[in-house]
Amino acid sequence: HGRPDAGPGPAWGGAETTGREFPNTDRNLFADMGETMAEVFARINEIRRPTADVIFADEWSGEAVDPKPDSFVYAYADLQTSPPISGVCAIEWAPNCRIVINYEQHIHPIWGVDREIENPGNTCTNCHSNTDAEGAAAVPAAQLDLSDGPSPDEPLHFKAYRELLYPDNEQELVDDALIDRLVDSGQILRDGEGNPILDEDGNEQPTPPVTVPVRPSMSVNGARASNFFDVFAEGGTHEDRLTPAELRLIAEWLDIGGQYFNNPFDAPED
């Protein structure tokens, strides 16, 4: 255990010669025979250090690659809400540093961030709430309620968490109250042999009305399995409504399972 000769050999033997760059890369990043790209970069520049942020800069492409891809940074420091790491680890990553993303502490506050400087009040919950500005009952935009408060299905969870990740029923406003919308099922009553059950006038009878299902926009199978991000893409209805740092945090949370608590010690005791 731990011996360099104990495991299988490398899948790739590294550079085939000395003094040449890898295909389509910067000629200043020349390899010695047997080196990997990581070893070349470390020898010429420096060993890369772990960081909690997502940082991309094209340091490899040669003259043949034109135009080069844009650089970008998704940094926790750009969040307007609590970052999922300590201040010390945000400055310098260490072996004992951990990224812990809990829904209540790190994801839910995003929905309440005011995104309008000159005219305050532009939050996600302005539209995605079960009440209007006067406090009267209202149908949440897109049937998605991101407001505060416990879920009636699981009091230990915020209702917004359940709305994002669990199937729900479409609602409508009737007599100033939100109720599940009921529609014709399109089916008729049948007996045990599949024959229609007729009423006293000999007419077929419809089955009771049914609720309209609403699929969750997020999935614990990860960000790529969640259509939540579609509206924030270029040309989407919510383009630029969330920042790149916020979208990165949400995607990261979903990619590790979208759990309510990712630190079991933060969960309340039974």
122: region left, alpha or beta (phi > 0 left; psi from -120 to 50 alpha)? beta
Give the pLDDT score at 110: 97
Give the pLDDT score at 117: 67
CA-to-CA distance for 85 and 76, rounded, in angstroms?
A: 8
Half-sphere exposure of 107 (CA within 13 A, CB side): 27
Give the pLDDT score at 137: 94
User: Which residue's structure tokens are 């200043």?
Assistant: 28
Beta strands in the chain (DSSP E): 20-21, 30-31, 54-56, 72-74, 168-169, 171-174, 177-180, 182-183, 210-211, 213-214
CA-to-CA distance for 205 and 192, rounded, in angstroms?
A: 15
CB-CB contact of 245 with 76 (8 Å): yes
Three-state SS letters, 190-240: ECCCCCECECCCCCECECCCEECEECCCCCCCCHHHCHHHHHHCCCCCCCC
CB-CB contact of 233 with 223 (8 Å): no
> Comparing C-alpha atoms, which of 113, 62, 49 is closest to residue 245?
113
CA-to-CA distance for 59 and 158, rounded, in angstroms?
A: 44
CA-to-CA distance for 140 and 145, rounded, in angstroms?
A: 5
User: Which residue's structure tokens are 């609590």?
Assistant: 82
CB-CB contact of 119 with 111 (8 Å): no
Tell me, what amino acid is at 1? H
Give the pLDDT score at 3: 74
CA-to-CA distance for 74 and 64, rounded, in angstroms?
A: 28
Give the pLDDT score at 12: 87
Mean pLDDT in order along the chain per 10 residues (270 residues): 71 92 94 95 92 94 90 95 94 92 97 80 92 92 95 93 96 93 92 91 92 96 97 94 96 97 83
CB-CB contact of 50 with 92 (8 Å): no
CB-CB contact of 68 with 26 (8 Å): no
pTM of the predicted model, to two decimals? 0.85
CB-CB contact of 225 with 217 (8 Å): no
